[in-house]
A and B are shown apart, each in its own frame.
Chain A
């Protein structure tokens, strides 16, 4: 590879940021000053190119330090990693949290997504923009869901520097959000994760039983509350035994697709190709979803333990935790937890003295919903644009770095702990016959007590909403987030199971339950959903890239219309929606029309 670099040079700060991640350059071939020795041999080749996966961490390092990515900084990073600058530019421009144009060091992301929009985000945004105009040193960006729906409306301030500082303001007022942006260090501390769990401390919880009970920073506390008994049990059972237990438990993936976890593990474990990888998908970006954040913030060691078990069962020695870029607290908690586990021999070359080597590396996302798609996530980790791959081949055969990979959602993994501690039969007794186990639901919108709720699969939508204290005037409930569907207020007897929601013509998705009354007009919600998909489409395939734009345009046209005046555009929406569902490469395009369709068919929007 004969790389071409321009004349732009990095500033000292940009260089320091990259060197802090990669270490100082060893020769002029990777960006140091030229010495005589460099003229005698060339460095590079496969060994240098093999570090391509450090591109995204490198971009983060620059963006965290300076707030944006200049030509010189990008070129320097490319030199260090032997990455063609054009490709790195393609990667940097893919992510919403990066900018390749100068911008202030502080960026305030103000959520304008569904739950926040219903809680007054438009007014909040307008107020903030008035206070933080040009020259304020803060760039205000309207953001998709920040995963803080239980405290809507939400804002997240990120101030570049060494170290980067963040502050969350939720529920945000103009005053508090401006304070968070201008002085992140002195902003009031976020309330504990347990506040997002109205059931915290109650008996009978399986997944949330430690949230709010243990100190999330203390490994001892975790162990005192049953931590690491599941891993010990796993070592007793052996890898095949663990997979058998997980298979027998009937556990299905909690990220939205509900694929049987045991089958996925078995398929990966049986691949002869090595190494195997474990990837935890913590890129929780479905609007209205925040369960994984609460788990990671409130009980981080549980995820570390569960990942260790999954790695052991599937023959992986390296686990990657792909964590959403907008979750600074979850990042800190998990960094701490992983370091503690490593120091205590619970990760590393010899886990628990059992001769099994396993370690976890955290990779941060940078603002791309599509990276929650399993193969897009692989591309993102590998340092490429986060575009989905076509399947087959499936990840269990060719996943991360082209190797057999098992990828699970945070909640799915955490379910493995009770499966091993209580045994598959006891676990399978929870829930219904075809949807076993407990499930987390992210309830937000017009309810008294929004938050994460744990219920056995099989409870009805009405049970859940009653628990959360649904307010009067319920008009509709959005199940499964933007990729899910609306149901009517009189459909509360829908059983919350994978098959029950499917039979009712809707989806459980990732467990989003968002309640709406009449205060926000339905067409405005639909428009926000359409905007979301337009913004988040990666652009790879035509049905999704252009279809999401045409969908948004049509919804704009009929925002104020009903009946015959909207009929033509609704017919057009149906035709485009059908092609998006049938012909898009990945789940994003395939589901981009779901919520709009359900609103038209079930709720009678535009009638």
Chain B
């Protein structure tokens, strides 16, 4: 049985979103309120199991009295706030952010981005053929997962998951500065020379597919990756007594990827190397 902790009751506060009354529990973000009101605000760096980093700025909205736009993912709702989500000003910034990302990063495996590019009429090509791109090669230095930093939007989620928010391994950090900033382990070494414990919790939170299972990476390269043919089965990890939930992604009767439900109140989507990558024995048919 999954027990959802209710926490202490929170006061409701009232404010308006696009002129309509919104009531949310104290401590909610503008994004929480927008989602509760059924408004679809694009997000990239926001993670349901992580503290908001508000680095991508694609969720910006207008707040009455604020000089600049505010990130919906991190700004807490305040009583009497007047939030406008669909103004020309907010939509303009979202469009430019999408264009800036799409013109410099490979977003081909980022969910929903194609839809947003269309919705915001973004034209990443207009920066010209010479617009600087990340130009990174996939780093394949171990058997478990691949770091394809050409797809990295620098959302900091993997760093936060590896660091004090979940794993406490601190194997990765942002290195360098500005457009040259990249996620790296110490001395930019291969993963095998780093503090990485291969829990894969960074893959779990990566919003763009920059971090992926080696199995997924290889299948995509071979053109055999097909999510429509995959089933997802959530089960319990058998390795130890913690009882983490595993979601097995199965294609053609082979496990191709393992995730974990983010709403699990104990593990919040986190696993260890055994749960995440130790499934080969399941499909050992000898």
How far is A543 from B71 in the complex, measured between Cα atoms in Å? 13
| Contact present for A535 and B178 (CB under 8 Å) | yes
Interface residues of A in 490-519 (CB under 8 A from B): none
**B contact residues around A390 at 8 Å (CB):** 54, 71, 74
Query: With A549-B179, A553-B131 known to touch, is A71 a contact of B187 (CB < 8 Å)?
Result: yes
- Asked if B175 is at the interface (CB within 8 A of a chain A CB), the reply is yes
Q: Which of B60, B156, B172, B179 contacts A546 (CB 8 A)?
A: B179
How far is A90 from B162 in the complex, measured between Cα atoms in Å? 14
User: Closest residue of chain A to B180, judged by CB?
Assistant: A539
- Asked if B242 is at the interface (CB within 8 A of a chain A CB), the reply is no
- Asked if B58 is at the interface (CB within 8 A of a chain A CB), the reply is yes
- Asked if A235 is at the interface (CB within 8 A of a chain B CB), the reply is no
Q: Which of A75, A84, A542 contacts B100 (CB 8 A)?
A: A542
- Asked if B266 is at the interface (CB within 8 A of a chain A CB), the reply is no
| Contact present for B170 and A87 (CB under 8 Å) | yes
How far is A426 from B249 in the complex, measured between Cα atoms in Å? 75
| Contact present for A4 and B194 (CB under 8 Å) | yes
A-B residue pair count with CB separations less than 8 angstroms = 168
**A contact residues around B140 at 8 Å (CB):** none
**A contact residues around B171 at 8 Å (CB):** 4, 84, 86
- Asked if A88 is at the interface (CB within 8 A of a chain B CB), the reply is yes
- Asked if A395 is at the interface (CB within 8 A of a chain B CB), the reply is no
**A contact residues around B55 at 8 Å (CB):** 540-542, 585
- Asked if A233 is at the interface (CB within 8 A of a chain B CB), the reply is no
How many residues of B sit at the interface, in one of the four size bands? 35 or more
Stretch from B14-22, B89-97, B205-213, B256-264 at the A interface: B89-97
**B contact residues around A100 at 8 Å (CB):** 187
- Asked if A205 is at the interface (CB within 8 A of a chain B CB), the reply is no
| Contact present for B97 and A543 (CB under 8 Å) | yes
- Asked if A583 is at the interface (CB within 8 A of a chain B CB), the reply is yes
0 or 1 for each of A120-151: is its CB under 8 Å from B? (1 = yes): 00000000000000000000000000000000
Stretch from B108-116, B122-130, B231-239, B276-284 at the A interface: B122-130
**B contact residues around A4 at 8 Å (CB):** 171, 194-195
**B contact residues around A94 at 8 Å (CB):** 175-177
User: Closest residue of chain B to A89, judged by CB?
Assistant: B186
User: Closest residue of chain A to B90, judged by CB?
Assistant: A582
CB distance from A48 to the nearest CB of B (A): 14
**A contact residues around B131 at 8 Å (CB):** 550, 553
Query: With A542-B55, A545-B178, A572-B126 known to touch, is A86 a contact of B186 (CB < 8 Å)?
Result: yes
| Contact present for A557 and B128 (CB under 8 Å) | yes
- Asked if A74 is at the interface (CB within 8 A of a chain B CB), the reply is yes
How far is A553 from B129 in the complex, measured between Cα atoms in Å? 11
**B contact residues around A2 at 8 Å (CB):** 168-169
| Contact present for B153 and A582 (CB under 8 Å) | no
Interface residues of B in 214-239 (CB under 8 A from A): none
| Contact present for A572 and B127 (CB under 8 Å) | yes
User: Closest residue of chain A to B185, judged by CB?
Assistant: A86
0 or 1 for each of A236-276: is its CB under 8 Å from B? (1 = yes): 00000000000000000000000000000000000000000
CB distance from B154 to the nearest CB of A (A): 7
| Contact present for B68 and A583 (CB under 8 Å) | yes
Q: Which of A546, A548, A549, A585 contacts B101 (CB 8 A)?
A: A546
How far is A86 from B170 in the complex, measured between Cα atoms in Å? 7
User: Closest residue of chain B to A575, judged by CB?
Assistant: B96
User: Closest residue of chain B to A539, judged by CB?
Assistant: B181
| Contact present for A545 and B96 (CB under 8 Å) | no
- Asked if B188 is at the interface (CB within 8 A of a chain A CB), the reply is yes
| Contact present for A543 and B68 (CB under 8 Å) | no
CB distance from B7 to the nearest CB of A (A): 22
**A contact residues around B201 at 8 Å (CB):** none
Interface residues of A in 525-584 (CB under 8 A from B): 534-543, 545-550, 553-554, 557, 572, 575-576, 578-579, 581-584
How far is A96 from B176 in the complex, measured between Cα atoms in Å? 9
| Contact present for A582 and B93 (CB under 8 Å) | yes
| Contact present for A582 and B89 (CB under 8 Å) | yes
- Asked if A1 is at the interface (CB within 8 A of a chain B CB), the reply is yes
| Contact present for A585 and B54 (CB under 8 Å) | yes
- Asked if B69 is at the interface (CB within 8 A of a chain A CB), the reply is yes
CB distance from A538 to the nearest CB of B (A): 6
| Contact present for B184 and A86 (CB under 8 Å) | yes
- Asked if B12 is at the interface (CB within 8 A of a chain A CB), the reply is no
CB distance from A85 to the nearest CB of B (A): 4
**B contact residues around A385 at 8 Å (CB):** 173-174
CB distance from A351 to the nearest CB of B (A): 38
User: Closest residue of chain A to B126, judged by CB?
Assistant: A572
How far is A119 from B128 in the complex, measured between Cα atoms in Å? 34
0 or 1 for each of A361-383: is its CB under 8 Å from B? (1 = yes): 00000001000000000000000
How far is A542 from B92 in the complex, measured between Cα atoms in Å? 14
| Contact present for B58 and A542 (CB under 8 Å) | yes
CB distance from A102 to the nearest CB of B (A): 13
**A contact residues around B174 at 8 Å (CB):** 90, 385, 539
User: Closest residue of chain A to B181, judged by CB?
Assistant: A539
Interface residues of B in 151-167 (CB under 8 A from A): 153-154, 156, 163
0 or 1 for each of B40-67: is its CB under 8 Å from A? (1 = yes): 0000000000000011111010000000
How far is A385 from B178 in the complex, measured between Cα atoms in Å? 12
Among B56, B154, B173, the one with the most A-chain Cβ atoms within 10 Å of its Cβ is B173
- Asked if B6 is at the interface (CB within 8 A of a chain A CB), the reply is no
**Top 7 A-B residue pairs of the complex, sorted by shortest distance between their CB atoms:** A90-B173, A84-B170, A4-B195, A539-B181, A579-B96, A85-B186, A546-B100
A-B contact pairs, 10 of them (CB 8 A): A6-B187, A84-B163, A89-B173, A90-B175, A539-B179, A543-B96, A549-B132, A578-B92, A581-B68, A583-B96
Interface residues of B (CB under 8 A from A): 54-58, 60, 68-69, 71, 74, 89, 92-93, 95-97, 100-101, 103-104, 126-128, 130-132, 153-154, 156, 163, 168-181, 184-189, 193-195
14 new A-B pairs (CB below 8 Å) besides A93-B176, A583-B97?
A3-B195, A4-B171, A6-B187, A84-B170, A86-B185, A89-B185, A368-B177, A535-B177, A543-B96, A546-B179, A576-B96, A579-B92, A579-B100, A581-B68
Interface residues of A (CB under 8 A from B): 1-4, 6, 71, 74-75, 84-90, 93-94, 96, 100, 368, 385, 390, 534-543, 545-550, 553-554, 557, 572, 575-576, 578-579, 581-585, 590
